[in-house]
Amino acid sequence: MLSRGIILKSRPEGTPKPDNFAVEETGLPSLQDGEVLVRNLCMSVDPYMRGRMMDVRSYVPPFQVGKLLEGGAIGEVVESNDSQYKPGDHVESMLGWREAFVSPAGALRKLEKLQQPPSAYLGVLGMPGMTAYAGLLEVGALKEGETVFVSAAAGAVGSLVGQIALQKKCRVIGSAGGPAKTRHLTEELGFHHAIDYRKGDLLKQLREVSGEGLDVYFDNVGGDHLEAAIFCMRPGGRIPLCGMISQYNAIEPPPGPKNLIMAVGMSLTLRGFIVTNFEHLRADFLRDMGTWIESGRV
C-alpha cells in the first residue's frame, strides 16, 4: 500500500517557505504482530510544530530533515494485528502529515464511540482543549470570579481558555488581531472585552479594561503581550506560559519583558507547561468539556 506524506526538506530560517517541505510517496510495510494499519481522517497543524523544525533541545525531539513531519491526527483502523484494535476503530496518534501508516498499537490511543465529529478530538476534545483546561485550571489555578486575560484568543487554545473561564464565572478579556476576530470573541463567544492588538498601544488598551487588575494571564504569545500583562497583574497573579507565538519565527530571540522585576514585588508566578504532563486530568477534562459542549455553553 502506498501513502503520501509531507517531509521536512530543509530547516526554515524565519518564516517557513513552501520549499522547506516536499511531498513524498512511500510504500507501507506489511503488518507485524501487534501492529495496526491506520488511514488518517484529519490532522492538526499547531504552532508548536514551528519549534520542532529547529534543531534545538526541547520537550520533543526536532523533526529530522528528509523525514516525515509528525503531529496529532485522528484515523480509522484499516487492518489490525493487535487484539485491542479492529477495522473501523477510531484512533488518535502523533502520526499526522501522512495518508496512512503502520504503527505498533502502543503508539495509538483508542477513541471509544465518537460523540462528536473526528476533528473535535483534535480541537475542543483534544490537545488544544486539554491545554486550555490544564493550563487555566491547574497551572493558572483559576478561581471563580477572577479576571482572566488570554492572548491569541481567537486561536484553538485561546478561544477555549476564554470559554472555560466564562464557565467559571470569570471576567474574560481576550486579544486578537483585527476586528473580525475581536467581534467573534465578544459577540459569539461572550468574552467581556476584546483587544485588537493591531490597533497599537496594547498596554493602554489592556489597562482600560483590566479594572482592579488581572488574576490570570494565559500567555500564548510572549513578547509585548507578556510585558503588558505583567504591568496589569494583581498581587499573587498567575501566568501560565503556554507558548510564545510571537517568537516562533524569530531568528534572533527578542528580549524578554523589561518589567519582569515586578514579579518580585507583586508575587507573580510565571509557569511554563506542556500538556503531556497533565494526563492525570484527562478524565476530568473529558467529563467537564463533554458537559459544556452538550449544554451548548462551549
CA 64 to chain centre: 22
Minimum CB distance to a copy of itself smaller for 278 or for 292: 278
Residue 34: CB minimum distance to a copy of itself, A? 30
Could you give phi then psi for residue 170, rounded to 5 degrees? -95, 160
Residue 116: CB minimum distance to a copy of itself, A? 28
Residue 261: CB minimum distance to a copy of itself, A? 5
Minimum CB distance to a copy of itself smaller for 103 or for 210: 210
Sheet holding 35-43, edge to edge: 100-104, 35-43, 73-80, 90-93, 109-111
Q: What is the DSSP letter of 280?
A: G
CA 202 to chain centre: 23
Pairing of strands 100-104, 35-43: antiparallel
Residues 6+ apart with CB under 8 A from 290: 115, 125
Residue 227: CB minimum distance to a copy of itself, A? 8
Minimum CB distance to a copy of itself smaller for 179 or for 236: 236
Residue 269: CB minimum distance to a copy of itself, A? 4
Minimum CB distance to a copy of itself smaller for 185 or for 239: 239
Cell of 187: 459577540
Give the residues lining the site for a copy of itself (CB under 8 A).
51, 58-59, 222, 226-227, 235, 241-244, 247, 253-274, 277
Residue 77 Cα distances to 31, 47, 73, 80, angstroms = 12, 28, 13, 7
Minimum CB distance to a copy of itself smaller for 51 or for 126: 51
Residue 238, beta-bridge partner list: 216, 269
Minimum CB distance to a copy of itself smaller for 14 or for 265: 265
Residue 63: CB minimum distance to a copy of itself, A? 15
